[in-house]
Structure 1
């Protein structure tokens, strides 16, 4: 069925797990689905409803009940302006690459001369040099496994995240950062990609990104700790913002950079708010508001919405009691041999309360429009 360009998903359901930020036990709550295949358009719609993927597993956090609410954040890359400190990071990286091979300055400029460089000018400055001290190569390619990528990942996880060497495996790396439900081929500009950073023939960093109809979504970034002095985490954000700007010339709707989740109380996650202008997604209405509108409220309470409503179900979900059977007639399930049927005609939907609840939870969490497009299997 995926060959027909359909999103095929299985329902994983609700889950509780330990929080990687505050270390709470079973305090991070979400609802999940497993995507066997997914169109880039459907995934774009899901992340605009607060979803995110890890490999082929997609999950939607419950911001109201979780210990560290995760707000979807996006930057309008077409309006991005670097701060003075951000420019210093970029200039430091460029100075390292160019080294002592900097071209001679032209004749003396007038006293009132001010050079204004765009992000793209600054990013590509080393490429304008005929000779550099170091050879920098940035390659964008469909996500794939190589021994070189895994070696970088293993070194990064052990050195930066203090994972045990025996816990870092090729299969885990593949599931997490190579496997993707988004189909990429030579005829499509969208899908899941790896952006490789190579210096003097050595892979020093790898960005995992999804290129979608309206955005580039950052999935993960890893780097060789030996090159941490280059500020590669920040530099990669500039590279990806620049990539959005370049894609925007071809696709006018693609103008946003999604940095994943913003967690106000966590320094490892709230630094994302320093890239401006950024918006956070309201977890109830799914409207975007400037991050400044959220910050003062987040200082007082962890769960913020500008559209409060009385409810007894997770924020952003449809009301399960409001669903009509007619609306469920267009929710389809795979029944084998390439055949699909409306979920309401499946015997188990009528006879099993737990099965029916699982289906209703899925529909309420993804919304009717997506529930009508994606096939349950």
Structure 2
């Protein structure tokens, strides 16, 4: 464990994989009290993700199925079906602000995860306020935002998003399946792409993609995208390549 500049870095080895019952994962963590925009940009380019003040990257020795991916914003063109999703949400209000926590947040988060537990057998237990604060509110910086989706004066979706000058990082999204006709999960990504285009931000980082995976395979729909071919340290060059399906 290294403690430098009030940061703590460590590796959790031989833990059960979150995505495959038969795999073992090794994750490098870095708890950062403060993370500048430049630091964060460098980490995003090298496959790191953020929840609160905790940043992490997989270093699994026996598996490389989790692949870092990013959308090429300038080349992205909305399909007819995506335009229909955008049109269906013409009355959905979007508010962008710093991350927060309310009872509405917690209730919607629990409702979403209870649904996903029944549908995809995700682990589920009601989230404690302290856990939500630590994962989604703590560590917020100038670039940390939440996208709130409102319909009929009701909160129906929340997306945690980091907006940097050269990157958008989609951290997490949860929503009300009672409004499944609006496809809020998809609409949230499309809204981020639209904002990135307007702000001339070149890439949207969607985290880890796992081809043909029940929960992680959907990301390949947002093409063209690039994948990180190597696992560079923070001092090494990255190798990003266009992915052809």
Comparing 198-207 with 81-90, which one deviates more in the overlay? 81-90
Residues in 2 aligned to 1:165 and 1:261: alpha-carbon distance in whole angstroms: 21
Q: Is the 8 Å Cα contact of residues 273 and 291 (structure 1) preserved in structure 2?
A: no
Q: Is the 8 Å Cα contact of residues 7 and 38 (structure 1) preserved in structure 2?
A: no
Secondary structure, counterpart of 2:219 in structure 1: helix
The answer to whether residue 85 in structure 2 is matched with residue 89 in structure 1 is: yes
- Taking the TM superposition and a 5 Å limit, the aligned residue runs for 1:209-228 are 209-228=161-180
Correspondence for 1:271: 218
Segments of structure 1 that go 5 or more residues without pairing to the other structure are 1-5, 95-125, 127-134, 185-190, 249-253, 296-377
- Taking the TM superposition and a 5 Å limit, the aligned residue runs for 1:53-68 are 53-66=50-63
Q: So what's the TM-score if we normalise by structure 2? A: 0.86
Distance 1:183 1:155, change over 3 A: same
Residues in 2 aligned to 1:140 and 1:57: alpha-carbon distance in whole angstroms: 23
What count of residue pairs does the alignment treat as equivalent?
Answer: 234
Residues in 2 aligned to 1:63 and 1:282: alpha-carbon distance in whole angstroms: 15
- Taking the TM superposition and a 5 Å limit, the aligned residue runs for 1:356-375 are none
Correspondence for 2:30: 33
The answer to whether residue 17 in structure 2 is matched with residue 70 in structure 1 is: no
Q: So what's the TM-score if we normalise by structure 1? A: 0.58
Secondary structure, counterpart of 2:208 in structure 1: strand
Q: Is the 8 Å Cα contact of residues 8 and 38 (structure 1) preserved in structure 2?
A: no
Comparing 157-166 with 135-144, which one deviates more in the overlay? 157-166
- Taking the TM superposition and a 5 Å limit, the aligned residue runs for 1:1-377 are 8-24=6-22, 27-66=24-63, 69-91=65-87, 93-94=88-89, 126=90, 135-162=91-118, 166-180=125-139, 182-184=140-142, 191-248=143-200, 254-284=201-231, 286-292=238-244
- Deviations along 1:8-29, one digit per CA (max 9) or x if unpaired, are 411123433222222236x121
Distance 1:164 1:72, change over 3 A: closer
RMSD value, Cα:
2.2
Higher strand share: 2
Higher helix share: 1
CA shift, 1:174, in A, is 1.6
Comparing 280-289 with 144-153, which one deviates more in the overlay? 280-289
Distance 1:195 1:59, change over 3 A: same
Q: Which structure is larger by alpha-carbon Rg, 1 or 2?
A: 1
Distance 1:289 1:247, change over 3 A: same
